Each structure stands twice: as C-alpha cells, then as structure tokens.
C-alpha cells in the first residue's frame, strides 16, 4: 500500500472568528453574504476562503491516506465481497459485533482502522 499525499490547505474560519468569544462565533465554515463583508471581498488579512483551487486531484479524492477507499461497517455482512478497501467500524457498534467484524476482516485480509 502506497501512502497518498494530499494537498494542504489553510483552516477556513468564519468571518471575525478570532474577535468574539467562541460561543458567539463558531468555527464551522459559513459563507459570507453581507455587502460590506471583508471576507467576501477577499481581503488578505481576513484569512483564506474555500475555493476550487484548494481541491485535491480526482485520483486521490475520498481516499484514506493509505491509498485505499474506506468503508464504514455496522455489521459483518457489510464486508462480504469487499476487496482492496480499509474498514472503519461505526461508532455505535458494541463489543460483540465489533469482534465479529474484526474476525471477518481478518479472514478477508482487510485492515481495520479502529480496532
């Protein structure tokens, strides 16, 4: 498995992210819409905004850094027929089903990301 190197991009913060308390302005990106908004006008001191130039190449998009696509497994049946993928076990899966998924993945020679 060859590791994939994706492009780095800056953190995209909301306008005025550092000025007010964290409760008032969240960190999740929202596009700016005001007519006098400095971030919308792309003034450099306001920080970077998402644009098409930050996108990764099509060949590496949606891949795990190991170079393989990921599948999210809720049970062992979802692994049937899976080849050349890495497995991530869903967060809501309990101990017993988790053990079954890990066992099935070992039979199919698949890598589990969160054992």
One DSSP character per residue, 31-69 reads ----TT-TTTTT-GGG-----GGGPPPTTTTT--TTSS-
Q: pLDDT (tens digit, 9 = 90+) per residue, 87-109?
A: 999 999 999 999 999 999 999 99
DSSP class of residue 113 equals: S
Q: How many residues comprise the chain?
A: 115
**What pTM does this model have?**
0.70
71 phi and psi, to 5 degrees? Answer: -125, 145
Q: pLDDT (tens digit, 9 = 90+) per residue, 46-94?
A: 999 999 999 999 999 989 999 999 999 999 999 999 999 999 999 999 9
39 phi and psi, to 5 degrees? Answer: -70, -40
pLDDT band for position 20 (cuts 50, 70, 90) = low
78 phi and psi, to 5 degrees? Answer: -70, -10
Please report, for the chain, the start and end positions of each structural domain, with discontinuous segments joined by +: 9-55, 70-112
């Amino acid at each position: 498995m060859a590791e994939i190197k994706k492009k780095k991009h800056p953190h995209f913060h909301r306008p005025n992210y550092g000025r007010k308390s964290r409760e008032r302005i969240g960190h999740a990106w929202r596009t700016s819409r005001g007519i006098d908004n400095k971030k919308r006008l792309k003034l450099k001191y306001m920080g970077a905004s998402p644009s098409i130039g930050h996108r990764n190449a099509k060949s590496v998009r949606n891949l795990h850094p190991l170079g393989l696509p990921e599948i999210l497994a809720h049970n062992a049946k979802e692994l049937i027929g899976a080849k050349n993928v890495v497995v991530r076990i869903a967060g809501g899966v309990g101990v017993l089903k988790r053990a079954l998924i890990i066992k099935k993945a070992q039979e199919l020679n698949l890598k589990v990301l969160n054992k």
